[in-house]
Chains A and B, each alone.
Chain A
Amino acid sequence: MAWFVGRRLVWALFATFLVVTLTFALLAASPNPETSQAAWQAAQDGSDPEEARALVDQQHGAGDSLTTQYVSYMVSMFSLDWGQSTTYNEDVTSVIANAWVYSAITVIPATIIAVVVGFGIGLYSATHQYTTADYAATLVAFFGVSIPNFWFAIVLMLVFGELLGLTPISYDSEVPFWSLEHLSYLVLPITVLATAAVASEMRYARAEALEYVSATWTKTARAKGLSETAVTIRHVFRPATVPLVTILVADLVGIIFATAYVVEVIFGIPGLGYVSYQALVRMDTPLVLATTLIPVFVTIVANLCQDLAYTVLDPRIDYEGRSP
C-alpha cells in the first residue's frame, strides 16, 4: 500500500508539472488584450504605441526571454513562492487565501446538499422505480441538469431578491460571517449550485443503485428478513458508492471552477472561480499558474484518496498485489 501511495504522489507531482507547463505555454502563445488596448489608446492619443506595448509587457514581466520566464515561474510554483499578481499587485497567496473562503461557503454546502439529497433521492427512485415519486424525481433531475445556471441564477435573483424581497440581491462581504443574515445572502447562490449538482448526483445514484436493487444478494437479504431500509443502505447503497465516489471528485472540482464562476459573477461573490477567470482574461501569469496548480493538485490527490476509499467501501479491492 505504501508503495502504491508513494508512486501515486510522485505521479501527482509530475502531472501537475505537465499541466502547469502546458498552461504557461498557452499563456505565452496568447496575445495579451491589455497590450492591444494600451497600444490602441496610445495611437489614438498620438503617443508611441510601441512604448505603450513595452510598458504593459514590462508590467506583466514579459520583458525577459521565454526560457527565463518559464524557469522563474516553475521555480516559484514548486517552491511555493508564487510571487505577485500583476493585476492586483498583491501576493498571489494572499489573493487566493482571500478568495477561497468565498468559494468554500457556497461550494461546500452545495456539495453536501448534492451528496445527501442527490444520493438520497437517487436511491429512493431506484428502489421505487416507475412510481409517481420516481417520475417526479426524474423530472426534477432533468430540470436541474437542463436549466442553464446563469439564467436560473438571474431568475432567482429577480424573483426572490427584487420582486418578493425575500433574499438579498447580491452578496455582501461586510455582513458578519457567523450570522443568520449571512446565511440569507448565501441561500440563492447555494440553491443554484446545488440544483445542478443534486440533479447530476441523483441520476448517477439512481442508475448505479438500479444495478443492485435486483441483485441476488439483495434478494437473499430480503429473504433473510432484513428490513427494506437495511437492504437499501447495506446491500444497495454500499456497492453503488464505489462508482459514485469516482464522479464525486470530478463534480466537486467542476462546481468550484466552472459552475461557481457563474454564480460568483451574478451574485458578486469575490471567490476563487471569478478570480481565476479574471486572471486568465488579464493574462496574469503568476495568478493563472497558481490557480491552475491548485485544482490540478487537488484533483490528483483527491483521486488518490478516492482510490484508497475504494478499499474501505469494497473490501474486494486491494492494492497490495501491485507492490513490486
Chain B
Amino acid sequence: MSHNRFAGVSRRALVKAAGVAGLAGLAGCFDADGGRSLENGSDGVTLDQREIHPEWVHAVSAEASELSPYRATDYASGLRTTLLLDGAYTLDEDDEFYSFWVESYENRGEESYAFTLRDNLEWGNDYGQQTADDWVWFYNHVVTPEENWVGHPTRDDWSNVVSVERESELTFVVDLEKPDPLFVRRPTMWGTQILPSELTKPYYERWVDGDGDAGHELNTADEVLEFQYAGNLGPYTFDRREIEDRFVVQRNDDYYRRGTEPDADDWEDAPYFERYVMRILPEQSTRLAELRTGGITYTELPADEAHALENESAVETVTTPTPFLRLAAYNQRENGWEPFRNQSVRQAFSMAVEKTSIVENIFDGNADVAHTFQPTYSEFYDDSHVREFGEGESYDPEAARSILERELPSAYGYDGDVLLDAEGSQVALTLVYQTGERVYRDSGRYIAAAIEDLGVAVEQRAVPGDVLLERYAYQESDSGIPTLNAGSRDRYTSDVEWDIMWSLSLNTFPRSPENIGAFFTEAGTANFMGYVPAGDLEGLLEEAATAPDIERRRERFGEVFGLLSEEQPANFMIFDNTIHGYHRNVVLTEPVSPSWGYKRHTYWASEDPHG
C-alpha cells in the first residue's frame, strides 16, 4: 500500500475546517503535484485507538560511532542522539521554525536574533534547568576557542555569529556579523544539541590547564555516552547500547514536549511507544524480510526495491524528496579530457544522456530528474532561468553529435559513427563511479552506453567510495595534504586520470544555497572538477548572499542556478528520494516534505505492530 494514513497535521486542518474533535477515519494520499489530499479512509483509524504500545523497532544498517552531541554529526549517530535530545528547534514542511527546546524566536533586525527557551526544560543528574546560560557558555567555550578542544565538527556553522549574550534566564541573543534573513533556517541553531554547562566546565578547565585529552574524555565519559544528563529533554531515556546489535531507549515519563504547542494534540502523550529499539541488521535482504513479516516497525528502503514493497499489504511506504543531487562531473583539470573545458562540449554530453530513463528504469521512479544544482521544490529555483538537458526534447544525441563536430578542435572529427582525435584514434574516456549500490553500477553502464553512441569509447571503472574520493577527487596540496581543490586546474590534479565521475551525491543546500560556492567557484573548497565559470557566478553568489530582502535573494539565486544549468560544469542527473517503509499499523502525523520525520515522535499505531 503506497498511500498513508495521516493524523496530526491533517487533523489540525480538519478540526479547523469542520469543528470535528477527533480524527475519524482519516486517510491521506498524495496527489499528482506531490501535495496531500484527504479522503475518508477505509482503514477506520480513529484517535480513540491512539494508545501506548510496547515498542517501535527501527532497523538500521550501521552502528553509530559517536554518542556525544558535540561529536555526533553523522547520520547514524544523529539517529540515536535525537531519541534522547530534541535539540533547539527544527523546520516544518514549509521550512518554518518548529519549536522544541526553543519556544520562540524574534528577529531583531537582520543581524540579531533572540531565542527564548521553554521554561520546563530540565537536565538530568541534578544539573538543573536548561537556561540561556547553557547556550552562552556553549558558544563561548565550545564554539569560539581557537583550538577545537572538544572536536566539534560543525563549529564553522557559527562563522557569521559574533556573539551570544544572555538577555534573561530563558532568552539569549545571537548577533551576526553580516545580515542574514535566513539565519533561522541555517544549521547553526536548528537541530543543535548541547551539554549542560556544569557538566562541561570541569573538562574545559582541565583543557585550559593544559590537559589535551580533556575534550576526548568529555566525549567518552559514561555520563555522556549514557545520556545521564538528558533529563526530560527528549522523548526517550537511555536504556542500553549493545555494540553492533541494538540501541534501546525507554519512554521518557517527564518529556517536556508532551501536550505543548504547536500541535499539542499530537504531542499529548508522546511518544506512543514504551520503548524504541534500534536494531542493527547490516544486510538489506534481512531488513526487508523483517519489514514484510512485521518483525520491525520501520526501515529505510532502497530505491530499486520500493515499488515491490508498495504491493505488500503489510507495508506502508512514503517517498520524500531530498536535497541530494547525483551528478556526472566533467574533469576540467589537466588530467581530464581537455575539450570538457568548452561549455558547448559539456552541453553536448549532457544532452546525450536521457535522465528520465535512468529515473524510471534504474531508480524505479524513486528519484527526480535534475537540471541544475537546486531541487524544484526550493524557493530559490526559478525554472524560467533553467535550461534543460537530457529530458524530453532536450535529450537529443543527434544534436549532440552536431555540436561536437562544430565545437571540438579541428583535429577531431567523425569517421562514420566514430569520433577520432588528432592522432586518428577513437576518442576514449574514463568513466568512474563508486561500488556498493546496484543503481550506481546500472546507471554507470547506461551513461557509458549513451556516450558510446556519440562515437566515443568509454572505459568504466567501479571503485569503493573512499577510493573514489582519495584517488580521483582529491589533489595533493603544496603542503602535502589531500584537498578537493588544491589550486589551479592546470597544475593540480588527482592521482589517477579520469574524465567523467558519476554517482557522487552532493548537498544542494536549498534552505541556504550560499554554500554551493564551495563546488562552483574557481577557488571553492570542493571544486574538485576544476570548473572555471564563464559567467560571473561569484558576483551573483555574493549579491545573493548579501541581498537585504528575500525577494532579491530569490532573484539572484534564480540567476545563479540558471547560469549553472547553462554552463553544465557537470551533468546534473538526479535528485535522490528517501523511501521510508513502515509497518501497516503505523499512523503518520505529517505531510510529505523534505523535512519528513520532524514529528516522528508523534507517530502512533492503530494496533500493536508486534503484538
Q: Are B244 and A37 in contact (CB under 8 A)?
A: no
Given that A44-B526, A161-B289 are known contacts, is A170 also in contact with B515, CB under 8 Å in the complex?
Answer: no
Interface 9-residue window, one of B256-264, B332-340, B464-472, B580-588: B464-472
Q: Are A38 and B518 in contact (CB under 8 A)?
A: no
- A270 contacts B by Cβ under 8 Å: yes
Contacts of B286 in A (CB 8 A): 157, 169-170, 266-268
- B17 contacts A by Cβ under 8 Å: no
Q: Are A173 and B507 in contact (CB under 8 A)?
A: no
Question: For window 173-230 of chain A, which residues contact chain B by CB distance below 8 Å?
Answer: 173
Contacts of A68 in B (CB 8 A): none
Query: Shortest distance in angstroms between B465's beta carbon and chain A's nearest beta carbon?
Result: 7
Bound-complex Cα distance A82 to B501 (A)? 42
Which B-chain residue is minimally distant from A55 (CB atoms)? Answer: B151
Question: For window 269-314 of chain A, which residues contact chain B by CB distance below 8 Å?
Answer: 270, 274-275, 278, 282
Contacts of A48 in B (CB 8 A): 156, 525
- B281 contacts A by Cβ under 8 Å: yes
Contacts of A59 in B (CB 8 A): 71, 151, 216
- A260 contacts B by Cβ under 8 Å: no
Which B-chain residue is minimally distant from A53 (CB atoms)? Answer: B481
Which B-chain residue is minimally distant from A270 (CB atoms)? Answer: B245
- B142 contacts A by Cβ under 8 Å: no
Q: Are A275 and B295 in contact (CB under 8 A)?
A: no
Query: Shortest distance in angstroms between A25's beta carbon and chain B's nearest beta carbon?
Result: 19
Contacts of B482 in A (CB 8 A): 36, 39, 53
Q: Are A46 and B525 in contact (CB under 8 A)?
A: yes
- A130 contacts B by Cβ under 8 Å: no
Given that A173-B245, A173-B246 are known contacts, is A165 also in contact with B293, CB under 8 Å in the complex?
Answer: yes
- B67 contacts A by Cβ under 8 Å: yes
- A129 contacts B by Cβ under 8 Å: no
Contacts of B148 in A (CB 8 A): 51, 55
- B65 contacts A by Cβ under 8 Å: yes
Interface centre among A39, A48, A50, A89 (most CB of B within 10 A): A89
Q: Are A162 and B289 in contact (CB under 8 A)?
A: yes
Q: Mark A38-73, 1 if CB is under 8 A from B, else 0.
A: 111011111111111101001100000000000000
Bound-complex Cα distance A87 to B225 (A)? 13
Contacts of B293 in A (CB 8 A): 161-162, 165, 169
Q: Are A95 and B153 in contact (CB under 8 A)?
A: no
Query: Shortest distance in angstroms between A188's beta carbon and chain B's nearest beta carbon?
Result: 11
Bound-complex Cα distance A55 to B148 (A)? 9
Given that A51-B148, A169-B295, A282-B65 are known contacts, is A45 also in contact with B483, CB under 8 Å in the complex?
Answer: no
- A99 contacts B by Cβ under 8 Å: yes
How many positions in chain B have a CB within 8 Å of any CB in the partner chain?
54
- A90 contacts B by Cβ under 8 Å: yes
Which residue of A33, A43, A266 is within 8 Å of B526 (Cβ)?
A: A43
Given that A45-B156, A266-B283 are known contacts, is A98 also in contact with B243, CB under 8 Å in the complex?
Answer: yes
Which B-chain residue is minimally distant from A161 (CB atoms)? Answer: B289
Q: Are B517 and A46 in contact (CB under 8 A)?
A: yes
- A253 contacts B by Cβ under 8 Å: no
- B63 contacts A by Cβ under 8 Å: yes
Given that A50-B483, A170-B286, A170-B295 are known contacts, is A98 also in contact with B281, CB under 8 Å in the complex?
Answer: no
Given that A266-B286, A268-B283 are known contacts, is A39 also in contact with B244, CB under 8 Å in the complex?
Answer: no
- B313 contacts A by Cβ under 8 Å: no
Q: Are B153 and A38 in contact (CB under 8 A)?
A: yes
Query: Shortest distance in angstroms between A275's beta carbon and chain B's nearest beta carbon?
Result: 6
Contacts of A267 in B (CB 8 A): 286
Bound-complex Cα distance A275 to B525 (A)? 35
Q: Are B282 and A157 in contact (CB under 8 A)?
A: no
Q: Are A49 and B151 in contact (CB under 8 A)?
A: no
Bound-complex Cα distance A47 to B525 (A)? 8
- A23 contacts B by Cβ under 8 Å: no
Q: Are A90 and B243 in contact (CB under 8 A)?
A: yes
Given that A46-B525, A89-B67 are known contacts, is A268 also in contact with B279, CB under 8 Å in the complex?
Answer: yes
Which B-chain residue is minimally distant from A275 (CB atoms)? Answer: B244
Q: Are B153 and A52 in contact (CB under 8 A)?
A: yes
Query: Shortest distance in angstroms between A43's beta carbon and chain B's nearest beta carbon?
Result: 4
- B396 contacts A by Cβ under 8 Å: no
Q: Are A169 and B526 in contact (CB under 8 A)?
A: no
Given that A55-B148, A88-B63, A98-B243 are known contacts, is A31 also in contact with B483, CB under 8 Å in the complex?
Answer: no
Bound-complex Cα distance A137 to B91 (A)? 64
Contacts of B292 in A (CB 8 A): 162
Contacts of A84 in B (CB 8 A): 220
Query: Shortest distance in angstroms between A47's beta carbon and chain B's nearest beta carbon?
Result: 4
Bound-complex Cα distance A59 to B150 (A)? 11
Q: Are A158 and B289 in contact (CB under 8 A)?
A: yes
Which residue of B282, B466, B517 is within 8 Å of A33 (Cβ)?
A: B466
Which B-chain residue is minimally distant from A51 (CB atoms)? Answer: B148
- B182 contacts A by Cβ under 8 Å: no
23 A–B pairs (Cβ distance < 8 Å), ordered by A:
A33-B465, A34-B65, A42-B156, A42-B525, A44-B506, A44-B526, A45-B157, A45-B518, A47-B157, A48-B156, A49-B525, A59-B151, A88-B63, A90-B243, A157-B286, A157-B289, A170-B279, A173-B246, A266-B286, A267-B286, A268-B280, A268-B283, A270-B243
18 other contacts beyond A42-B153, A44-B507, A50-B483, with CB at 8 A cut-off?
A36-B474, A40-B484, A42-B156, A43-B483, A44-B515, A45-B154, A46-B156, A47-B153, A59-B216, A89-B66, A158-B289, A161-B293, A162-B293, A170-B289, A266-B286, A268-B279, A270-B242, A274-B282
